[in-house]
Amino acid sequence: MKIVFATGNSGKLREASEILGEGFELVSLAQVGITEDIPETGKTLRANSLQKAQYLYDKTGCDCFADDTGLEVDALGGAPGVYTARYAGDDKDFNRNMDKVLYELGVLEGEARMAGSLGLKVKKVSRRARFKSVVTLIIGGQIKMFEGTLEGVIAREKSGNGGFGYDPIFIADEYPGKTLADISEEEKNAISHRGKALRAMAAWLHTHSETVPTAPTVPSADPSVISTDPSVISTDPTVPSADPSVPSTDPSVISTGPSVISSEAEGRVEKSE
C-alpha cells in the first residue's frame, strides 16, 4: 500500500518506513510534487497535524499522514508547545530556539535564588519537559489520530552532535545524564514521541489495512496532474466518509472521526472538489 507522508525530512521518512515495515511504501512530498510550505495555523498539535494531513489529501486524494510535534516545558507553562519550531523566530533556528529555552529557565532559577536569599519560601524551578507528537492518518476517507509522548528534563547546557531540533538540551528519563543528541539514532527512535505515535499508527494499519478501502492511486510528481486530474482526487463512492458514530475500541487511536477531533481542529476529509 502506498501512503504519502507530509514530510521533506529524509530522517523522518526513513524512520516511518522502518516502523511501517513490509507492505507499505512511503511517498514523500517531493514525490507528489508538493514543494510549498504546508500551512500550520492551528492552536494545538492535533489541529496542525490534521491541517497538514487534510491539505495533503485535498491536493492528492491519496491516503496520507502528517505529524506535528511540540516540546512542553512545565516551568514555562507548557511553552514552546505548538510554537516549538518558531520559538525564537520565523527562521526556525534550532540553536536560537534552544538558547531561548535555556535562558528563560535560567531567569526563573535566578529569580527563585534571589527570592530564597531574601528569606522567601520558594519552590525549586522544575526542568521537567516532554515531547509530544500527534500523527493524523487519512485513509479510505477516514481520519485517525495517534499520539506519542517522551518524558524528560531540560539539560543545563547543550550536549551531543546527533539528532536535530531540541535534542541537545533534552534528557529523556530512559537515558539519565545523556541528551537525545548524545545517544544513537536507533536508541532515540526506540523511545521517541514520534516513534511511539508512528508505531501506534503502524499497529492500526497492520490490523485494519485489509478492511479499509484505500484511495485509488498516488499521482505523479507533476503538480498540474495533482491539482487537476479528477481521477486523482478521490471521488470514489465506495470510500466512506469518517463515521463519527463509531467509537474507537483501540486505545492507541485517540480519535476515530471528525466529531471527536478537538474543537480547534474541524474534522473534514471529503471531498476537496
SS3 of 216, please?
coil
Write the interaction track for ligand IMP spanning residues 125-164; mark x where CB under 6 A is met and - where it is not.
------x-------------------------------xx
167 catalytic residue (yes or no) = no
Mark 82-107 as b/e (b = at least 16 C-beta within 10 Å): bebbebbeeeeebeebbebbbebbee
Which of 54, 84, 142, 179 forms a contact with ligand IMP (CB under 6 A)? 84
Judged by CB under 6 A, does residue 56 bind ligand IMP?
no
Which of 58, 147, 167, 182 forms a contact with ligand IMP (CB under 6 A)? 167
Strands 64-73 and 128-139: antiparallel
Q: Which of 58, 63, 67, 68 is catalytic?
A: 68
Residue nearest to ligand IMP (CB): 165
* Spatial distance between the Cα atoms of 154 and 126, rounded to a whole number of angstroms: 9
Which of 92, 96, 113, 156 forms a contact with ligand IMP (CB under 6 A)? 92
* Spatial distance between the Cα atoms of 69 and 157, rounded to a whole number of angstroms: 22
Judged by CB under 6 A, does residue 192 bind ligand IMP?
yes
* Spatial distance between the Cα atoms of 146 and 150, rounded to a whole number of angstroms: 14
Cell output for 59: 491536493
Phi–psi pair at 222, nearest 5 degrees? -85, 115
Element (H, E) at 120: none
C-beta of residue 113 within 8 angstroms of C-beta of residue 224: no
* Spatial distance between the Cα atoms of 157 and 171, rounded to a whole number of angstroms: 11
Judged by CB under 6 A, does residue 51 bind ligand IMP?
no
SS3 of 249, please?
coil
Total of chain residues touching ligand IMP, rule CB under 6 A: 16
C-beta of residue 138 within 8 angstroms of C-beta of residue 269: yes
- Least spacing, CB of residue 210 vs ligand IMP, in Å: 30
Judged by CB under 6 A, does residue 54 bind ligand IMP?
no
- Eight-class DSSP state of 166: T
Region binding ligand IMP by CB under 6 A among candidate stretches 27-35, 61-69, 138-146, 236-244: 61-69
Judged by CB under 6 A, does residue 219 bind ligand IMP?
no
* Spatial distance between the Cα atoms of 21 and 2, rounded to a whole number of angstroms: 12
CB nearer ligand IMP, residue 86 or residue 208: 86
**Alpha carbon of residue 253 to chain centroid:** 15
Element (H, E) at 147: strand 142-154
Judged by CB under 6 A, does residue 63 bind ligand IMP?
no
- Least spacing, CB of residue 14 vs ligand IMP, in Å: 13
Region binding ligand IMP by CB under 6 A among candidate stretches 23-31, 63-71, 111-119, 228-236: 63-71
Cell output for 58: 485535498
Which of 51, 54, 60, 69 forms a contact with ligand IMP (CB under 6 A)? 69
- Least spacing, CB of residue 217 vs ligand IMP, in Å: 27
Judged by CB under 6 A, does residue 165 bind ligand IMP?
yes
Q: What is the set of active-site residues?
A: 68
Residues at the interface with ligand IMP (CB under 6 A): 67-69, 84-85, 92, 94, 131, 163-167, 180, 192, 194
